[in-house]
């Protein structure tokens, strides 16, 4: 996995160097700050998507969750005048509840993750459109929430000569560090990989596979709830018919680029972070080079395709090397029993 992450990091450097050569504005402080902001916004929910993919599942409902929770969030602040910390807690809790519903349907009802989250994609957006009577939800003119805006759309260390570090990017880094500990330094993380590799074997070894899978969907839902708040504050208004459209593709692309296998059992937080960065660098390339924005989705589709093909080739290469070792008579020695030399 470390080799994958290193290769992806080098690819980002190469692509960044090419873009900077073609258009020096890429390295301007303002452009870098704007790109970092987008990395933070899209990286947050990509981490949750990565956890689900590691279990062998997928979450297609992310974009529609943004639409539903986003309009509810604005409604709580504007129409009900709730204190913003209360509104934030309600929205994050809403994301957790939706994730728990997905986990229940996948683990207890035994529905396919694709079907469950596809239904969620349709239901949540439909409810969001009904909730606003197919209108646009937005903040009132001149309405301010200084503390909330500082946390979501503000920048740290901003000055006349430095554009500052977007707080969305800082939040992304903090969440990534926490998720890195959870995935790579905890028993839950080991169980997550085991379930993704072989759910039946994991269950026979004593792992509560249903609970692990459900927890992955809860994490994804919770991070989607947090992202819904950041996106609502970033856009300031939400049209539920289009808000968050295809954002699940960004998340899937970032996870796949970062080494998360769609078969499950593989992936890393660092890889997802690098995948999110590469996607936004590519989007920046499209914008700076004057390529029609309508090709954004073509770029994403191509990136996902390349990532899946690379993953398939890697699996075949590993299988080939394993067969070569067997033919050469190289068999790994069995591990010594505990307490024996």
Please indicate whether residue 260 or residue 292 has the higher confidence score (pLDDT): 260
Report the mean per-residue pLDDT for the chain: 89
Task: For 31-71, write each residue's pLDDT tens digit.
Answer: 999 999 999 999 999 999 999 999 999 999 999 999 999 99
What distance in Å separates the CA atoms of residue 217 and residue 211, rounded to the nearest whole number? 10
Model confidence band, residue 1 (pLDDT cutoffs 50, 70, 90) = low
Domain boundaries, the chain: 2-14+39-153+163-322
Model's pTM, two decimal places? 0.88
Helix runs in 79-166, H state only: 84-107, 113-131, 146-152
What distance in Å separates the CA atoms of residue 264 and residue 219, rounded to the nearest whole number? 17
In this predicted structure, which of 72-76, 212-216, 319-323 has the lowest mean pLDDT? 319-323
Evaluate if residue 340 carries a pLDDT over 70: no
The fold of the 2-14+39-153+163-322 domain, in CATH, is: ABC transporter involved in vitamin B12 uptake, BtuC (1.10.3470)
Q: What radius of gyration do the chain's Cα atoms show? A: 21
Evaluate if residue 244 carries a pLDDT over 80: yes
What distance in Å separates the CA atoms of residue 305 and residue 300, rounded to the nearest whole number? 9
Evaluate if residue 171 carries a pLDDT over 70: yes
Model confidence band, residue 309 (pLDDT cutoffs 50, 70, 90) = confident
In this predicted structure, which of 118-132, 169-183, 218-232, 300-314 has the lowest mean pLDDT? 300-314
Q: Which residues does 254 contact at the CB level (< 8 Å), separation at least 6?
A: 42, 43, 46, 49, 50, 272, 275, 276, 278, 279
What distance in Å separates the CA atoms of residue 86 and residue 95, rounded to the nearest whole number? 14
* Widest distance between CA atoms in the chain: 75
């Amino acid at each position: 996995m470390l080799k994958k992450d290193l290769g992806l990091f080098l690819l980002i450097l190469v692509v960044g160097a090419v873009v900077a050569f073609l258009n020096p504005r890429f390295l301007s402080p303002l452009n870098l700050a704007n790109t970092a902001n987008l990395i933070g916004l899209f990286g947050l929910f990509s981490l949750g998507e990565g956890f689900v993919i590691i279990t062998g599942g997928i979450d297609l409902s992310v974009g529609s969750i943004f639409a539903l929770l986003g309009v509810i969030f604005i409604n709580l602040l504007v129409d009900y005048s709730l204190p913003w910390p209360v509104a934030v807690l309600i929205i994050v809790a809403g994301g957790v509840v939706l994730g728990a519903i997905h986990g229940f349907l996948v683990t207890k009802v035994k529905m396919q993750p694709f079907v469950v989250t596809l239904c969620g994609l349709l239901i949540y957006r439909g409810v969001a459109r009904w909730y606003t009577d197919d209108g646009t939800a937005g903040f009132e003119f001149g309405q301010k929430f200084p503390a909330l805006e500082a946390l979501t759309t503000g920048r740290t260390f901003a000055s006349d000569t430095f554009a500052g570090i977007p707080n969305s990017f800082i939040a992304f880094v903090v969440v990534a560090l926490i998720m890195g500990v959870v995935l790579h330094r905890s028993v839950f993380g080991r169980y997550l990989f085991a379930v993704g590799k072989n759910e039946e074997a994991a269950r026979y070894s004593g792992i509560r596979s249903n609970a692990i899978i459900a927890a992955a969907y809860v994490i994804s839902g919770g991070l989607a709830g947090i992202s819904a708040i950041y996106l609502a504050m970033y856009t300031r208004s939400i049209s539920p018919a289009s808000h968050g459209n295809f954002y699940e593709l960004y998340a899937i692309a970032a996870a796949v680029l970062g080494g998360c296998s769609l078969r499950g059992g593989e992936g890393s937080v660092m890889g997802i972070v690098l995948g999110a960065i590469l996607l936004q660098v590519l989007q920046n390339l499209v914008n700076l080079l004057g390529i029609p924005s309508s090709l954004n989705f073509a770029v994403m589709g191509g990136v996902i395709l390349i990532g899946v093909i690379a993953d398939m080739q890697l699996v075949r290469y590993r299988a080939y090397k394993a067969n070569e070792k067997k033919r050469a008579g190289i068999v790994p020695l069995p591990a010594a029993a505990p307490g024996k030399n």
